Structure 1
């Protein structure tokens, strides 16, 4: 059931990124954009954690905050990939001081 909800939310985010971000192109104050931040969170974290972090990010995306570069944090590591190479790695994980990891997208990923 949780995977169905996750899939529906990811499809909704894909539709939003594909069609509705053209309306407000360049209006996000952060990198990666809030929708990309939410998508990465929903792919890699629990639903409650993804909702919380995405909502707080969206609430901070206004003129009262500076914005900047803020990568999503990963709650736990998934199993290691079987084939290692630049094309097989989807995200780079950078350790954080709280035993969590920043997720950085690998743009040369082919999968």
Structure 2
């Protein structure tokens, strides 16, 4: 329930409030997109802490750059292609049982 409230709040921010101000996020993906991905893929408390930490680092004293969410995904299995499935994310391995989440944009 809290996850859905946070995801809906972030979506509201992205669609209605964010376009009203200039893009100033020092990271890619943006802090709101990063938080949305965290809430979609992790439990509420971990996602909240990681999103808060990301927002606190988004200031002139940190370098910024690429900072994709990292998750541990234990149930990845190869599957056959099905025409009705829309791919939203790619999981790119970076350590044993740990993956970057990269959003598909094309």
Same fold (TM over 0.5): yes
**Residues in 2 aligned to 1:46 and 1:105: alpha-carbon distance in whole angstroms:** 19
1:22-73 per-residue CA deviation (whole Å, 9 max, x = no partner) reads 2332110000000000000000111111111101100000000111011011
User: How many pairs were matched up?
Assistant: 105
- Pick the aligned partner of 1:20 from 13, 17, 21: 17
Could you tell me how far apart the structure 1 residues matched to 2:33 and 2:27 are?
A: 10
* Separation of aligned partners in 1, 2:86 and 2:77: 11
Secondary structure at 2:19 match in 1: coil
Residue 61 of structure 2: which of 59, 64, 78 is its match?
64
1:48-87 matches, within 5 Å, as 48-77=45-74, 84=81
> Separation in 1 of the partners of 2:99 and 2:34?
14
Secondary structure of the corresponding residue to residue 55 of structure 2: helix
Q: How much has 1:82 moved relative to structure 2?
A: 6.0
- Specify every segment of 5 or more residues in structure 1 that has no aligned partner in the other structure, as ranges: none
Instruction: List, as ranges, runs of 4+ consecutive aligned residues in structure 1 with deviation greater than 3 Å.
Output: 77-83
- TM-score of the aligned structures, taking structure 2 as reference length: 0.85
CA RMSD of aligned residues (A): 2.2
Cα distance in structure 1, aligned partners of 2:22 and 2:104: 22
